Structure 1
Amino acid sequence: MSAEASAGSHAAVSAQCVSPSTEDCSHRGLLGSKYVKLNVGGSLHYTTVQTLSKEESLLRSICNGETDATIDAEGWVVLDRCGRHFSIVLNFLRDGSVPLPDDHRELEDILKDAQYYRVQGLIQHCLSAMQKQKDILETVCRIPMITSAKEEQKMISTCRKPVVKLQNNRGNNKYSYTSNSDDNLLKNIELFDKLVLRFNGRVLFVKDVLGDEICCWSFYGEGRKIAEVCCTSIVYATEKKQTKVEFPEARIFEETLNILIYENSRISGGVHLLDSKGPSLGAGQSEEEGGTGGDHRVRRIHVRRHIMHDERGHGQQTVYKD
C-alpha cells in the first residue's frame, strides 16, 4: 500500500516505541501489533501480522520478535531487500497461491526472494513452475540451420545423436524444373518436418540451404556420413535440359530408421555396422559405395540417373547413365 496509509500509523501499530533509537525498539516493535507497515527497498506495503505469520518464515520471526527489525521514525519496518517482487510474497501468504510470470529470469528472482524470506510454500511453487518450463522447452523441436561448412563439420562431429541433414536450395538451378518437381520438393520438406516431430530428442535434424545440391538427404552416425539420398537429376529427354526432383519417401524413412542404430553408440562404445550393405534397391534406384577412409563406406543412393537423350536410338529403351 502507498505511503498515504501512514497517517494512522500510531493507531495501527500499537506496540511501537516512542523513540526508535532505543535498544528495545527493534526487538519489541511488532509485539502485540495488528497492522504492519513495511518498507522493502523503497517499496511500501501495508499488511497484518496475521498475514506475515501464516508460514514459518523470516517475516513471522520478525513479527514475534525472534528476529530484530529496524523501524524508522515514521513506524515503517525497513527491510534491506529489493521490493520489486515483494507483493508476490505477500499475495502468496494471503491466498496460499499466486500466478507466476513466464519469464525465466523473473521467476528466478522470485525464487531468490522466497528463499531469503524462507517462505517454503512459495519456494516449492517456484520450483514446480521452473520444472514445468523445462519440460516444455525439452519438447520443443529446434532445427539448426547450417551457415558454413566449418559450422556443419563441428556440429556433426560433436553431436552425440545421429544426424539427418536435408540440403535444399531451389534457387541453385540453371535449368527449368519438370512439371512435378516443385511438388516433390515440398513433399521432401514436409517429410523432413514430420520426421523431426517423430524422432525429436533421438535424432538431430539440420537444414542446409547454402549447399550446391537442390534436394539431398544425408545421414550421419558417430560423426561421419553413413548414407546419402540424392533426389535431383538432370533430364535430357526434351529439347532443353530440365531438373527433376524425386520424392523417395520410403527410402528416406528407411535410412532414418537405419541411422537409429547409432543412437547410443558414443555413450556405450557403439557397434560398427558399416560393412553390411543396405537392402536391395527399388526400380529406378542405384547405389554407389565410396570409401571415406579405411573400411568406412557411404551408401549413396541416386533416385534417378541422368537420362541421355542423344544416346537413345529409335525404338530403344531409355539409357540411364551417370
Structure 2
Amino acid sequence: MTSTPVLPSSLPELPKGVFKKKAPYKAQDEQGKKGALQTEHKTIRREMECDRKSDDFEAIDQGNNCKMSPVTLNVGGYLYVTQKQTLAKYPDSLLERVVSGKILCPSDAEGHYFIDRDGLLFRHVLNFLRNGDLLLPEGFQENQLLAREAEFFQLKALADAVKSRWEKEQLASREATFLEITDSHDRSQGLRIFCNAPDFITKIKSRIVLVSKSRLDGFPEEFSISSNIIQFKYFIKSENGTRLVLKEDNTFVCTLETLKFEAIMMALKCGFRLLTSLDCSKGSIVHSDALHFIK
C-alpha cells in the first residue's frame, strides 16, 4: 500500500535580498548607445579640429611660398628677378600694390610686369628694398634722377635717403680741399704729402709702383701712413736693385725732387691752386721746403 507524502504546512521564509529585480535591458542599452554616441562625437570633433589645423598650416605654407615666389619685372627694357616680399616691403608703395593685385600693371610679351621707368636706376631702387640702406657706387652723380624714381614708386624712405645724401655732398663741396707737400731733405723723413681728399692720395698711389729686380709689386704700402698721408723716406736701395717707378711711362724715380715734381704736376692737373709764396733764392718750385695748395 503506497503512502502519500505529507507536505509541511508552511515553507521556511527565505532571507530578504536573495532575489533582486534586475534593471530592464532597455535602459542599459540606451545608456550604452548614449556613451557610444558621445565617444563618436568627440572623435569626429577631434578629427575636424585636426583637419582645420592642417588646412591652416597648409594655407600659411602656401602664403609663405607665395611671398617667396620669384617675380620678374621689366623696367624700361631691363629684367629684374626678385621676391614678392621684397617688392612689398613698404606698404602702399607702387610696387607693393602691383604685386598684391591692388592695381593693374601692364605686361610685356613674356607676361612680366612692365614698368616704363629708367631701367638702370631701378637697380638702386631694388637694392634699397633688399638692404634697407642707400648704397650707391663711388662717384654717383644722378641724385636728382634717383629722387624722381623714388617719388614715382612712392618710396618715401628712399626719397629721404637720397635727399640726405645730396645735402651731405653739397656741404662737403663747400669745404676747401687742402694739399701740403713738404720736403725736409732728411733720409729719416724724406717727402711727405698730405691731402684731406683721399682720392688725390689714391691717384698718387696709382701713379707710382715699386720695382725690385724686374718684378712689379705695386705701390709700396710701407710708404703709406693713412688714407690722407704718404711719407716717402729715402728709398733708393741700390744694394738690392729696388726702385720706385712711374707707372704710365716706366720712368725710374731715383730722387725725391723728381717725385715731388710728379706730385706738383698732378695737383695742378686736378685743379689745385698754389698758395705758397716762392722764395726766389730757391730758384724752382721743386726746391721749396713746403708747398701748400687749395681747391
Q: If each structure's strand is expressed as a fraction of its own residues, which one has the higher value?
A: 1
The alignment's TM-score, normalised by the length of structure 2, stands at 0.38
The structure with the larger Rg is: 2
Q: Using CA pairs below 8 Å that are at least 6 residues apart, which structure has the higher relative contact order?
A: 1
The alignment's TM-score, normalised by the length of structure 1, stands at 0.35
